[in-house]
Amino acid sequence: MQPPRRWSPLSRIVIAAIIFPFAVAGFWTFINYDQKVPVLIAKPDLPAYHALTSSDVTLGTIRAQDASEYAGLPVDGRLTLTAIKSGSPLRASDLSPVITTAFRDGFAVVGLDVSRAGALGGALSDGDPVKLLLARQGVQNGELEAVVMSVSRDGPQASRYTLVVAVGIEDARLLSSALSSGSQVVVMRDPNQR
């Protein structure tokens, strides 16, 4: 019978050096997993494109790994981009940027059907300030300032986009009459922003 094998001091150090990072990572995950984070919670059911006020939300906590995906205060002047059920936490992706300061006399949310080129090749994202150029038979007949609320297309190969924008209340009337008379919309990035 052989005596039990003894590990050399160097072997023990090498094994400890291999195991130590895994132990630290496991411990770090354990203490940070599902910590309670403060979040804003919808009081009533909120429809899409609802102008939020602080009375629409309450402060609560939920178990989550990362608080950065949730919306923070202030919410006044922001719109919901999707319908949010009462009692649900508000995610940052559910809210628009503050737009009420951009449209002091009121605003309207308008949906537009635009070409891929009209949506800047799909490069637009929520919160982008843009200019809507109205053109009829190749001649520009209007220019409106807008803020992009959302951009979507029917499928990965679709050439048409649905663009939801916030525009000033008077501009919404102009846009509505221009579109009903056959004008096309071209979107340009606002050179005065970003």
Q: Which residue has the higher pLDDT, 118 or 29?
A: 118
> In this predicted structure, what is the pLDDT of residue 173?
84
Q: What is the pTM of this model?
A: 0.63
pLDDT band at 194 (very low <50, low <70, confident <90, very high): very low
Q: How many CA atoms lie within 13 A of 131 on its CB side?
A: 12
Question: Bigger pLDDT: 155 or 138?
Answer: 138
CATH architecture of the domain with range 35-94: Alpha-Beta Complex (3.90)
Instruction: Identify which has the larger pLDDT, 50 or 104.
Output: 50
State yes or no: pLDDT of 113 exceeds 50. yes
**Helix ranges (DSSP H) in 5-86:** 9-32
Reply yes or no on whether the pLDDT at 171 is more than 90: no
Provide the residue ranges of all domains of the chain, joining segments of one domain with +.
35-94, 107-189
The confidence score (pLDDT) of residue 1 equals 58
Distance CA 184, CA 118 (A): 9
**Residue 193 predicted with pLDDT over 60:** no
CA gap 127, 165 in Å, rounded: 9
What value does the mean pLDDT take over residues 120-146?
Answer: 80
What's the rounded mean pLDDT across residues 91-106? 81
